């Protein structure tokens, strides 16, 4: 799942696809707040925030600041 979301974010950035960025955020946010979601899925938002740290377009449009 983490690789899929990473690919979504990378594709959104490459194509400046704001809708894809929003979908990636929605997935990460939903998994972070879902109690019975696998724990390694709950941490995907934090992992993506670390991975894409310093890339302003991604941080802004995927709302990675919500996972810090």
What is the per-residue pLDDT for 22? 98
Phi, psi of 36, rounded to the nearest 5 degrees: -95, 20
Q: What is the pLDDT of residues 23-63, one digit of tens each?
A: 999 999 999 999 999 989 999 999 999 999 999 999 999 99
Confidence of residue 5 (pLDDT cuts 50, 70, 90): very high
Retrieve residue 28's tokens. 């990460």
How many whole angstroms separate alpha carbon 22 and alpha carbon 37? 20
How many whole angstroms separate alpha carbon 17 and alpha carbon 55? 15
Q: Which contacts of 39-45 are long-range, i.e. CB under 8 A and separated by 24 or more positions?
A: 40/2, 41/1, 41/2, 44/1, 44/2, 44/5
């Amino acid at each position: 799942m983490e690789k899929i979301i990473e690919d979504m974010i990378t594709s959104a950035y490459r194509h400046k696809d704001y809708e894809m960025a929003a979908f990636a955020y929605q997935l990460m946010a939903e998994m972070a707040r879902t109690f019975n979601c696998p724990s390694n899925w709950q941490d995907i938002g934090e992992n993506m925030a670390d991975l894409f740290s310093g890339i302003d377009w991604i941080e802004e449009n995927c709302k990675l600041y919500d996972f810090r």
